[in-house]
A and B are shown apart, each in its own frame.
Chain A
Amino acid sequence: MSSRDAILQKVKAAQPSLLPLPSIEKQPREVDAVKQFQAVLESIGGKVVFLNAEESIAEKTVALFPEAKRIVSSITAVQNYFFSDYKSLRHHSLQDVDVAIIEAQFGVAENGAVWVTEEDLKIRVLPFICEHLVAVVDSTTIVATLHEAYERIGASAYGFGAFIAGPSKTADIEQSLVLGAHGPKSMTVFLLH
């Protein structure tokens, strides 16, 4: 018998009789989602910048990162920096990207996270390999909790998706918080309103 069948047989013999699957109870929250999103994201090392419809994402990015030599964006509309060659690009070549600009589908107020998928990123490693990350989010999309977040994601098809909440970090050395472990040293969310 294959290990697969042996394991399944053992599991079946060992498991107890069927217990009910509970439903998830969502408690309504009376919070200003945008305000909480900002407060939580800042508390975990992220930054929030409010952007009007007329303001340019590219210009704002350059103003925030004047030293940046290589800026790359996965947003088609950010014309100067959009990597139109992403299909042929060797992913490892992104290792010297100073700032990556990505678009996130929505944000989560309770934990400061934004949701992105491979479709938004074009290249999966982009938001991890860059030195600094800028994520553009529409402020009307912020949901209160992760329960609403998964309701929103629903059964959507993606190859890869991630919640990203703040810059890469570690506290492995004597619990001292250091931003920029392997990924971005900073994360800025551009909130559009």
Chain B
Amino acid sequence: MSNSNHHTDHATLAEKFNRDEARVNWHDETLWFIRQKRDRAAWSLGNEWEPLRETASAIKAHTLSNLSDYLQQFEKAAQQNGITVHWAADGEEHNRIVHGILAKHNATQLVKSKSMLTEECHLNDYLKEKGVEVIDTDLGERIVQLAEEHPSHIVLPCIHWKKEEIGELFHKHLGSPEGVIDPSFLTNTARVHLREKFLTRRVAITGVNFAIAETGEFVVCTNEGNADMGAHLSDVHIACMGIEKLIPKREHLGVFLRLLARSATGQPITTYSSHFKKPREGQEMHLVLVDNGRSTQLGREDFRNSLKCIRCGACFNTCPVYRRSGGHSYHTAIAGPIGSILAPNLDMRQYKDLPFASTLCGSCSNVCPVKINIHEQLYQWRQVLTEEGYQPKSKTVAMKAMAATLSKPSLFSIAGKWGRKVMGLVPGLVSNRLNPWYKQREMPAPPEQSFTEWYKQNRKGGKS
């Protein structure tokens, strides 16, 4: 699958996305619409909402502080339920385990419902190389898969696609009539196409939204019903989860399921919240527990809370940078504000730009259902990356000049005086493409005098 985004940074990719102004505006407005739906859903719970967020956050904090015990409790319970439990230290091992199960069953085809973990591990690419055909069954994921792209949003994988383009894609791959762009018609085309896959594939992969240590069961939430269609019709069900998906007890689902869909799309609950506890009679059920950097993040005190994430995508929908730069500009499986905290943990060099792709406005932290201090962590990552020497070059030069100027009051005064003069005489010097602040902005007219000069003039009598 093509991913040419690996070696470019967020700013460059965002600039590419911003060339089509009409599309950017549409993308921005669509996501803001979902953010508003989230607000209405949250308000519908009145004064229950904030305590609910507090409780969810505290349950996750507790779980993380006892994760090694809960993992073992979960493993034991799941095994008693007849589930085979596997452990993968990283993405590579996860992929090998999944392929091993397929090989044992001589399976070369499978259906997969949404799992951001398998995206993170690049499972599709891995299996393709091994000659295994993976069909993504979530409609949005199938669209981006047919287009040889990756999801641009963890909940709304093809939020960057217009129906005209989807119509064309389906005409090319699924044989729908040319020029048909009606969403109902296109959805039905995909329904017919994917139903045949559900009925013929013997192996199904699903993600996991929550796993319960107490009972050894796991919960998968979808609106389309694709996880259930795949899993219940399969001979072999493989569920893949990060180790942070654990919660202690079944009753805690009451807290998390009340928050998840309301935060994600403004629905009171997803259409299906499926609790898988035991394999169906005659079925084989596997569960792969994946670390892939999570235990490292757990050890980073400042970033530990990012593991509370329940992948609702609310921080994406509210983020002014995400809305106007698009998911692919983050060049990582999990984009947006939360992805920008998770990615540098996996690879500081590759994702050094992401904590800077934020205005630090704090809207992400305000909507987060598990109260992750996202914007503070983005700020903290900037400190870490700078200390480790990963700061983007352009910032280093400018920051050094600024630090020198700000540390000397006389230099600051002279620099300001010259700055105002130069901006007035030669506006092109700052209003050019070398100054990132000028992009999509007009520079203001320079003021006549500095505040210090104004103050001296107007407060001569010494009155204050």
Q: Which of B151-181 contact A (CB under 8 A)?
A: 156-159, 161-163, 166
A47 at the interface (CB under 8 A from B): no
Indicate whether B301 reaches chain A with its CB closer than 8 angstroms.
yes
CA A180 – CA B89 in complex, angstroms?
39
Chain B positions within 8 Å of A153 at CB level: 250
> Bound complex: CA of A111 vs CA of B51, how far in Å?
19
Interface residues on A, range: 35 or more
The answer to whether B59 touches A3 (Cβ under 8 A) is no
Establish whether residues B269 and A25, one from each chain, have CB atoms under 8 Å apart when the complex forms: no
Contact check, A151 vs B251: say whether CB atoms are below 8 A apart. yes
Smallest beta-carbon distance A175→chain B, Å: 6
Which residue of chain B has the shortest Cβ distance to A2 in the bound complex?
B87
CB distance from B205 to the nearest CB of A (A): 16
Closest chain B residue to A10, Cβ basis? B295
Cβ contact within 8 Å between B273 and A162: yes
Does B254 contact A147, Cβ atoms closer than 8 Å? yes
The answer to whether B225 touches A168 (Cβ under 8 A) is yes
B254 with A145: CB separation less than 8 A: yes
Q: Are A162 and B274 in contact (CB under 8 A)?
A: yes
Q: Does B143 contact A (CB under 8 A)?
A: yes
* Residues of B with C-beta under 8 A to A176: 163, 183-184
Q: Do B59 and A22 touch across chains, with their CB atoms under 8 A apart?
A: yes
B64 within 8 A of A: yes
How many B residues, CB 8 Å from partner? 89
**If the complex has contacts A20-B62, A22-B59, A181-B187, are A162 and B272 also in contact, measured as CB distance less than 8 A?**
yes
Q: For A64, what are the chain B residues with a Cβ–Cβ distance below 8 Å?
A: none
Of all chain A residues, which has the CB nearest B268?
A: A111
A18 to B66, CA, bound (A): 6
Query: Contact between A172 and B65 (Cβ–Cβ < 8 Å)?
Result: no
Closest A residue by C-beta to B44: A110
Contact with A along B57-87 (1 / 0, CB 8 A): 0110110111110011000000000000001
Q: Does A163 contact B272, Cβ atoms closer than 8 Å?
A: yes
Contact with A along B177-199 (1 / 0, CB 8 A): 00000011011100100110011
**Residues of chain B at the chain A interface (Cβ within 8 Å):** 30, 33-34, 45, 47-48, 51, 54-55, 58-59, 61-62, 64-68, 71-72, 87-89, 93, 137-140, 143, 156-159, 161-163, 166, 183-184, 186-188, 191, 194-195, 198-199, 215, 223-226, 228-229, 232-233, 243, 248, 250-255, 257-258, 265, 267-280, 289, 291, 295-296, 298-299, 301, 304
Q: Would you mind naming 7 contact pairs between A and B with Cβ atoms under 8 Å apart?
A: A91-B233, A112-B269, A125-B228, A172-B139, A172-B157, A175-B34, A182-B224
